[in-house]
């Protein structure tokens, strides 16, 4: 099936580029100290000849694969349906590409597949791992820990007892939620409902905690669990409209659920924000601007979170500080601020 012609050698590349073998080797192995003009000539010769460095030999010298596993602990269908993941991956991809590291996205169908993912990352195919959208009790972190791989998490992991040296990047979910609810109180609303995300994820738990910080005496029937999907926002909003008395405001745990809630309110002839004010979370564009009415929401910089995750990991791999040092002494978490964005819905 494959016609295995002899591979071009390092020597052939050197001859073509008119440089020494050592220079080619340095460029191919990503060492510094080669003038850009020469490096460019080598890269052109590499491409023209279709030279593929012997990875095994190269790895022996550098002990690196220049490849980073990215593991989204969600089924592949959700990864492509929820723009949150695309945005975080974009940040990761830009940062890894800028450092000539290959992004290796390990897709799964369900949680049973996480054992296979653990086996792959333990198999010496990548230098480190970026893991996000963990659910509580997910076996993945333990498998990765046993593989001894440098790892940075997206979102605060919940390992039950907590572990030293765990590094993560997160948004200020609790503070952002407090801002959202205080904004609704400031509009004179009193029966404020909350549609939560999937409560086996810390982002959802933290946003619920923020809601409760402000609404300590909230009617518990005004808190309905969703799962971050638009359909769950619709379902939760229908439940909330059955309550007597009903809510005069809704804080949804993300924009996709808020968009679902807005659709149901419109179906039922409720005016937004007059009858029911709605606030989301994420500031997922263009969705947040295209809802009817446009959505007031809590902005988090999702792409920047991805970029930071990659940056912390690469710093660790390059020996310029462990991720936990880079993330700040005494803390494994780098927590980014959120901002309330006012549009028409609240």
**Residue 68: which of 119, 124, 130, 117 has the closest Cα?**
130
Q: Rule CB under 8 A: is residue 151 a binding residue for its own copies?
A: yes
- The DSSP bridge pattern shows strands 168-171 and 192-196 to be unpaired
150 neighbors 128 (Cβ within 8 angstroms): yes
What strands lie across the sheet with 128-132, from one edge to the other?
67-75, 128-132, 151-154, 168-171, 333-336
Nearest CB to its own copies, comparing residues 70 and 237: 70
Helix (H) or strand (E) holding 69: strand 67-75
- What whole-number distance in Å separates Cα of residue 106 and Cα of residue 73? 9
Shortest Å distance, C-beta 285 to its own copies: 13
Secondary structure in 3-state letters for 236-257: HHHHHHCCCCCCCEEEECCHHH
Q: Rule CB under 8 A: is residue 321 a binding residue for its own copies?
A: no
Among 9, 38, 120, 246, binds its own copies (CB under 8 A): 120
Q: Rule CB under 8 A: is residue 185 a binding residue for its own copies?
A: no
Q: Rule CB under 8 A: is residue 127 a binding residue for its own copies?
A: no
Direct distance between the N- and C-terminal alpha carbons of the chain, in angstroms, rounded to an integer: 62
Q: Which two tokens stand for residue 293?
A: 């009415």
Among 77, 290, 320, 339, binds its own copies (CB under 8 A): 77
Nearest CB to its own copies, comparing residues 76 and 158: 76
Among 29, 31, 62, 102, binds its own copies (CB under 8 A): 102
Q: Rule CB under 8 A: is residue 10 a binding residue for its own copies?
A: no
Q: Rule CB under 8 A: is residue 36 a binding residue for its own copies?
A: no
Among 24, 73, 89, 265, binds its own copies (CB under 8 A): 89
**Residue 171: which of 88, 251, 261 has the closest Cα?**
88
The residue ranges that bind its own copies (CB under 8 A) are 1-5, 7-8, 43, 46-47, 50, 52-53, 55-56, 59, 65-67, 76-77, 80-81, 83, 86, 89-90, 93-94, 97, 100, 102-109, 113, 115-120, 122-125, 139, 142-143, 145-151, 163-165, 167, 316, 322-324
């Amino acid at each position: 099936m494959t016609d295995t012609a002899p591979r071009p050698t390092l020597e052939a590349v050197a001859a073509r580029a008119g440089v020494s073998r050592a220079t080619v080797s340095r460029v191919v192995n990503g060492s510094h100290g080669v003038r850009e003009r020469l490096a460019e000539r080598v890269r052109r010769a590499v491409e023209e000849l279709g030279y593929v460095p012997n990875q095994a030999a190269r790895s022996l010298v550098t002990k690196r694969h220049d490849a980073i596993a990215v593991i989204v602990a969600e089924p592949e269908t959700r990864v492509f349906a929820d723009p949150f993941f695309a945005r975080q991956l974009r940040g990761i991809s830009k940062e890894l590409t800028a450092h000539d590291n290959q992004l290796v996205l390990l897709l799964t169908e369900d949680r049973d597949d996480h054992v296979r993912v653990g086996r792959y990352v333990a198999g010496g195919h990548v230098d480190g791992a970026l893991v996000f959208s963990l659910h509580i009790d997910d076996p993945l972190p333990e498998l990765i820990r046993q593989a001894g791989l440098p790892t940075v998490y997206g979102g605060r992991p919940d390992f039950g007892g907590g572990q030293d040296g765990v590094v993560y990047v997160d948004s200020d979910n609790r503070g952002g939620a407090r801002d959202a609810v205080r904004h609704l109180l400031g509009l004179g609303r009193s029966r404020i409902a909350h549609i939560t995300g999937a409560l086996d994820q810390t982002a959802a738990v933290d946003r619920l905690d923020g809601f409760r910080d402000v609404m300590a005496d909230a009617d518990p029937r005004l808190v309905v669990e969703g799962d971050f999907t638009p359909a769950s926002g619709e379902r939760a909003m229908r439940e909330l409209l059955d309550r007597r008395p009903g809510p005069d405001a809704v804080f949804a745990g993300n924009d996709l659920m808020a968009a679902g809630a807005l659709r149901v309110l419109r179906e039922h002839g409720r005016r937004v924000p007059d009858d029911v004010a709605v606030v989301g979370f994420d500031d997922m564009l263009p969705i947040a601007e295209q809802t009817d009415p446009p959505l007031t929401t809590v902005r988090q910089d999702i792409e920047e979170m991805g970029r930071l995750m990659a940056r912390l990991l690469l710093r660790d791999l390059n020996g310029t500080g462990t991720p936990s040092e880079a993330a700040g002494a005494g803390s494994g978490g780098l927590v980014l601020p959120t901002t309330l964005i006012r549009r028409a819905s609240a």
